Structure 1
Amino acid sequence: MSVMDLPEFEAALMYGVEALREGLAVVVANPSPLTYGVIARDARVVNRLKGRPAGQPVGVSVHTEASHDRLFRCLDLRTDSLAMVDFALAERITVLAPIRPDPTMPEWLAPAVKDGWVLFFDGSWGPTWFLWESHPFLYGSSANRTGEAPAASAAEARAQFPARSQMIIDADDQRRPATAYGPSTIIRVARDGRPRLHRSGIQDPDVLLNRLREFRSAVAVLDGSARSPLGRTYLSTSVDENGKPKQLVPNTRIRLGFARQPNKNEGDPRVWDIVRAHVGCNSLGTAAAAGELLTGGRLSIPGIGGTQVGCEPPLRDQEEWLEAFLTSGPAWRLSGDELTLTSGGTTITLLDRMVAEPDFPLDGVKWTVVTTITNADARQGYGRTEAAWIRFDDGRLTGWTGGNDVTGTVTRNNTELSFTDVAVSNRACTAESAAMQAAMLATFQPAVSYTIDHNQLTLLAPSGRGLDLSAQVRY
Structure 2
Amino acid sequence: MDLPEFDRAQLRAVEVLRAGEAVVVTSPSPLTYAVVARDARAVNLLKGRPVDHPVGISVHTSAAHDQLFRYLDLPTSALAMVDFALAERIAVLAPILPDPTMPEWLAPAVQDGCVLFFDGSWGPLVYLWDSHPFLYGGSANQTGQAPAASAAEARAQFPAGTVIIDADDRRTPTAGYGARTVIRVDLDGRPTLHRAGMQDRAAGGPDTLLDRLREFRSAIAVLDPPTGTPLGKTYLSTAIVEGGEPRQLLPNTRIRLEFARTPNKNADGPRVYDVVRADVGCNSLGAASAAGELLADGTLWIPGLGGTQVGCRPPLRNQEEWLKTFLTSKPNWHVNGDELTLTSASTTITLLDRQIAEPDVPLDGIRWSVVTTITNADLRQGFHRADEAWIRFDDGRLTGWTGCNEFSGTVTRTNTELAFSDVAVTGHSCTAEAARLQAAILATLGPAVSYTIDHNRLTLLAPSGIGLDLKAMS
| Same fold at TM > 0.5 | yes
Aligned to 2:56: 59
Q: Does 1:39 align with 2:36?
A: yes
Paired residue for 1:312? 313
Structure 1 residue 44, shift from structure 2 partner? 2.1
Distance 2:396 2:347 in 1: 50
What per-residue deviation string (whole Å, max 9, x for no partner) do you get for residues 140-168 of structure 1?
121222232222111222222214x6421
For residue 157 of structure 1, what is the aligned residue in structure 2? 154
Q: 1:412 to 1:399 in 2, by over 3 A?
A: same
The amino acid across from 1:184 in the alignment is R
Whole-Å separation in 2 of the counterparts to 1:144 and 1:292:
42
Q: Are the aligned partners of 2:274 and 2:291 in contact in 1 as well (CA < 8 Å)?
A: yes
Q: Does the 8 A contact of 1:44 with 1:54 survive in 2?
A: yes
Partner of 1:296: 297
Q: CA deviation at 1:201?
A: 1.9
Aligned twin of 2:203 = none
Tell me the CA shift for residue 12 of structure 1. 1.0
- After TM superposition, the structure 1 = structure 2 runs for residues 123-272 of structure 1, keeping only pairs within 5 Å, are 123-163=120-160, 166-204=162-200, 205-225=206-226, 227-272=228-273
Amino acid at match of 1:92: R
Provide the residue aligned with 2:425 in structure 1. 424
Separation in 2, partners of 1:187, 1:428: 59
Q: Identify the residue that residue 83 of structure 1 maps to in structure 2.
A: 80
Query: Does residue 276 of structure 2 align to residue 279 of structure 1?
Result: no
Post-superposition shift, 1:413? 5.5
Question: CA shift at 1:393, angstroms?
Answer: 3.4
Q: Is the 8 A contact 1:80 1:226 kept in 2?
A: no
Hey, what's the Cα distance between the residues in 1 that align with 2:312 and 2:387?
29
Whole-angstrom CA distance in 2 between matches of 1:242 and 1:79: 36
- Matching residue's letter, 2:440: A
Aligned residues: percent identity?
72
Which residues of structure 2 form unaligned runs of 5+? 201-205
C-alpha spacing 1:223/1:51, structure 2 compared with 1 (3 Å): same
Computed over aligned residues only, the root mean square deviation of the Cα atoms, in angstroms, reads 2.2
Distance 2:146 2:276 in 1: 42
**Deviation per residue, 1:101-156 (Å, 9 max, x gap):** 34443332232223332221111111112111111222212122223222211122
Q: Which moved more, 1:147-156 or 1:96-105?
A: 96-105
Separation (CA, whole Å) in 1 of partners of 2:412 and 2:47: 27
Cα 1:224–1:449 change in 2 (3 A) is: closer
- Using the alignment, how far apart are the partners of 2:209 and 2:192 within structure 1? 10
> Which residue number corresponds to residue 346 of structure 2?
345
Q: Structure 2 CA distance, aligned partners of 1:21 and 1:125?
A: 19
Query: Whole-Å Cα distance in 2 between the matches of residues 160 and 361 of structure 1?
Result: 48
Query: Distance in 1 between the 2:338 and 2:96 partners?
Result: 19
Q: Give the conservation status (yes or no) of the 8 Å contact 1:409–1:420.
A: yes
Shift of 1:384: 5.5
Contact kept, 8 Å, 1:359 with 1:454, in 2: the verdict is yes
For residues 249-276 of structure 1, give each alpha carbon's deviation from its aligned partner in whole angstroms, at most 9, with x where no partner exists.
2222111111222221113312211111
- Which AA in structure 2 matches 1:41? R
Deviation at 1:91, TM superposition (A): 0.2
Stretch of structure 1 that moved more, 43-52 or 25-34: 43-52
Deviation of residue 169 (structure 1)? 0.9
The Cα shift of 1:416 comes to 4.4
For 1:107, give the aligned amino acid. E
Matched, 1:107 2:108: no
**2:30 pairs with 1:29:** no
SS of the aligned residue for 1:299 comes to coil
Superposed CA deviations along residues 341-386 of structure 1, whole A, max 9, x for unmatched, are: 1111221122222333344444443321111123443322123575
In structure 1, give the amino acid aligned to 2:177.
Y
Name the aligned partner's letter for residue 167 of structure 1. V
CA distance in 2, matches of 1:354, 1:208: 38
**In the alignment, is the contact (CA less than 8 A) between 2:131 and 2:465 conserved in 1?**
no
Separation in structure 2 between the aligned mates of residue 308 and residue 189 of structure 1, nearest angstrom: 42
The Cα of 1:278 is off from its aligned counterpart by 1.1
SS at match of 1:9: helix
Q: Secondary structure at the match of 2:31?
A: coil
Tell me if structure 2 keeps the 8 A contact 1:32–1:177: yes
How big is each residue's C-alpha offset from its partner over 1:208-243, in whole Å with a ceiling of 9 and x where there is no partner? 111101111111122243542222222222222233
Call closer, same or farther: CA 1:245–1:105 in 2, change over 3 Å: farther
* CA–CA distance in structure 1, aligned partners of residues 15 and 116 of structure 2: 26
For residue 458 of structure 2, what is the aligned residue in structure 1?
457
Deviation, 1:400, is 0.9
1:260 touches 1:273 (CA, 8 Å); kept in 2? yes
User: What corresponds to 1:117 in structure 2?
Assistant: 114
Q: Which SS does the other structure have where 1:203 is aligned?
A: helix
Q: Which residue matches 2:11?
A: 14
Q: Distance in 2 between matches of 1:407 and 1:418?
A: 14
Distance in 2 of aligned mates of 1:416 and 1:470: 18
* Higher deviation after alignment, 361-370 or 322-331: 361-370
Contact 1:284 1:305 in 2 (8 A): yes
- d(CA) in 1 for partners of 2:348 and 2:46? 56
Q: Which amino acid in 1 is paired with 2:380?
A: R
**In structure 2, C-alpha distance between the alignment counterparts of 1:8 and 1:302, rounded to whole Å:** 44
TM-score, normalised with respect to structure 2: 0.92
Task: Report if the CA contact (8 A) 1:418-1:447 is conserved.
Answer: yes
Q: Distance in 1 between matches of 2:122 and 2:376?
A: 22
Per-residue deviation at 1:299? 0.4
Is 1:365 aligned to residue 361 of structure 2? no
Query: Structure 1 CA distance, aligned partners of 2:239 and 2:77?
Result: 30
What SS does the aligned partner of 1:252 have? coil
Residues in 1 aligned to 2:184 and 2:20: alpha-carbon distance in whole angstroms: 30
Structure 1 residues 456 and 42: CA distance shift in structure 2, 3 A: farther
> What does residue 72 of structure 1 align with?
69
SS at match of 2:199: coil
Question: Residue 447 of structure 1: CA displacement?
Answer: 4.0
Q: CA deviation at 1:178?
A: 2.2
Verify the 8 A CA contact 1:332 1:339 in the aligned structure 2.
yes
In 1, Cα distance between equivalents of 2:104 and 2:472: 20
The 3-state SS of whatever aligns with 1:135 is coil
Residue 58 of structure 1 and its aligned partner are, at CA, apart by 2.0
Q: Give runs of aligned pairs for residues 348-427 of structure 1, distance below 5 A.
A: 348-383=349-384, 386-412=387-413, 416-427=417-428
TM-aligned CA deviation for residue 183 of structure 1: 1.3
- Asked if the contact 1:229–1:258 (Cα under 8 Å) also holds between the matched residues in 2, the reply is yes
